[in-house]
Amino acid sequence: MHLPDALRSPRVLLCLVALGFLWPAAQAAAQDTSTQEAAEAKACAFTKVEAVEQYGGPLPPSIWGRLCQIQDGAAAYPAGVTITVSKDGEAIGEAVTDEGGVFVVELPGNGTYQVRLDEETLPEGFSLTDERFATLGAVKVTFGDQQAVFRMGEDTRGARDFEDYATTFAKGVRLGLILGVAAVGLSLVFGVTGLVNFAHAEMVTIGAVAAYGFNSAGLPFWLAVIPAVAVGAAFGAASDVGIWRPLRRRRMAMLSMMVVTIGLSIFARNILQIYFGVGSKQYTAASGQRESKLLVFRLTPNDRLIIVVCAVVLVAMTIMLRRTRLGTAIRAVSDNADLAASSGIDVDRIVLVVWALCGGLAALGGVLYGLTVNVKFDMGFVLLLSMFAAVVLGGLGSAYGAVLGALVVAIAQEMSGLFIDTSYKFVTAMAVLILVLLIRPQGILGKKERFG
């Protein structure tokens, strides 16, 4: 497939991603998806069985219903409200709601009717949600009787204010920073060795689990982070020395090595399950958090700490990559390992350092993620595809790309929950991943190679 070059510009790509979550928003605007509303609908729901009970016998051919409004958290039913039924301008019948808010208007037969609620007859404190729906224009009766529903009370759909959007955005940033810290190692390892490492998920989990271990052994949470990161770094280094370096020496093909990472991931995850159990566990610092307002963002103290820690770590990483000799060496090996070797860089040592760095950062990301969602044996695996999405979007091999990609994916994922059903939230991350791979596989900041 040859796409015009215009589509390869990063700006266009970002527009596409934005479109990717504006479209569901437009869809959702026509849909009724608020969960609060669902709860209310349940409280005010009126079934035919209940109607028959209230009526005291089987219903005649009619249009029936019960007016209901949530007042102070409980359902309230207005009495004495007039409901008029007409057909093409001709009056058919009318009824007045009883103390239970129930009305039954008898009909001559099947057809399409207009049903009108006389607002003047509403008692104090009751009102229609939307005045425009005082008349239901087309109530179809096909089976003799039909329920008519009038929505009453406040429209909770519009209850989201600017603060909600801002806070969701902030939560997106928080997740994005965590994802960035967790995923940058994935990108770095790919950069220096060309390996797509599925077991990265388990390095994230190991960090979280290690922190839990230290935490529950008595160490305060924010102190437990340190040995957890050390454990992660150790695992990263050990896996390079024990597995990846020997395989590189054997000149194993990249795809085969990827399958080995998959095997390792499965092995490690299940060993973790045996050791840690299937349940989720909490850090001591995770409980007792209260949201407080910072400008328009409603964040907990943990949220703020997480954002600060991640930002500091990422800035430190940037400085390391740009300003130190180590960073330059890493970038050199990432660019062209042979060239780097011939200029005197010990490639094996650099790769080892990168793996240790990867493990440490993944562990940190895992610990912080565990603070937001609780620790579970498969938490890394659950995050894996989002991490792939972030890293691919930003460009495999680019550290900055990983962070940029992580922010975009996380914010898109969280914000999409405002517009579409939350069950579809992860689908957003998937969709971003797929779109990027199809349109611009090298991501926003990645190097352009032949991808076919």
Partner 1 sequence: MSWLSILALALQTAIGFQAAYHALAAVGLNLHFGYTGLSNFGHVGFMLVGAYGVGIAAERGWGLGVGILLGVGAAVVLGLLLGIPTLRLRGDYLAIVTIAVAEMLRLVANAGPSARLTGGARGFGGLSSKLGFYEHNVFEPRPGGYGIGESFVFSHQQLWAMLWTWGLTLVACLLVYLLVRSPWGRVLKSIREDEDAARALGKNVVVYKLQSFVLGGVIGAFAGMLIVLQAGAISPSRWIAPLTFAIYTVVILGGAGTIWGPVVGSVVYWFVIQFAEGVINNLWFDVSDTTVGALRLAIMGLGLMLLMVYRPQGILGSKKEMLAGARQ
Q: Which residues bind partner 1 (CB under 8 A)?
A: 1, 33, 196, 247, 251-260, 262-271, 273-274, 278, 385, 388-389, 392, 421, 423-424, 426-427, 430-431, 433-434, 437-438, 441, 450-452
* Minimum CB distance to partner 1, residue 366 (Å): 19
Q: For residues 94 and 100, give the distance between their C-alpha atoms in angstroms, rounded to a whole number.
A: 17
Alpha-carbon distance values, 66 to 26, 35, 55, 75, 411 (Å): 32, 22, 11, 11, 42
* Minimum CB distance to partner 1, residue 164 (Å): 21
User: Which of 195/361 has CB closer to partner 1?
Assistant: 195
* Minimum CB distance to partner 1, residue 255 (Å): 5
Q: What are the DSSP E strand ranges found in 88-197?
A: 90-96, 102-106, 111-117, 135-141, 146-147
Contact 345, 333 (CB under 8 A): yes
Which phi and psi (to 5°) does residue 69 adopt?
-140, 140
Q: What are the DSSP E strand ranges found in 48-199?
A: 62-66, 69-71, 74-76, 82-87, 90-96, 102-106, 111-117, 135-141, 146-147
User: Which of 348/421 has CB closer to partner 1?
Assistant: 421
Contacts of 253 (CB under 8 A, 6+ apart): none
User: Angle, to 10 degrees, between the axis of helix 379-394 and the axis of helix 347-373?
Assistant: 120
Q: Are strands 146-147 and 62-66 parallel, antiparallel or unpaired?
A: parallel
* Minimum CB distance to partner 1, residue 333 (Å): 19
User: Which of 69/428 has CB closer to partner 1?
Assistant: 428
* Minimum CB distance to partner 1, residue 268 (Å): 7
Q: For residues 10 and 24, give the distance between their C-alpha atoms in angstroms, rounded to a whole number.
A: 22
419 Cα distance to chain centroid: 12
* Minimum CB distance to partner 1, residue 401 (Å): 15
* Minimum CB distance to partner 1, residue 305 (Å): 31
User: Which of 308/438 has CB closer to partner 1?
Assistant: 438
* Minimum CB distance to partner 1, residue 427 (Å): 5
The two three-digit tokens of residue 30, written as one number? 């026509």
Residue type, 70: I
User: Which of 76/427 has CB closer to partner 1?
Assistant: 427
Classify residue 29 as exposed, middle or buried by CB count within 10 Å of its CB (0-12, 13-18, 19+). Answer: exposed
User: Which of 263/301 has CB closer to partner 1?
Assistant: 263
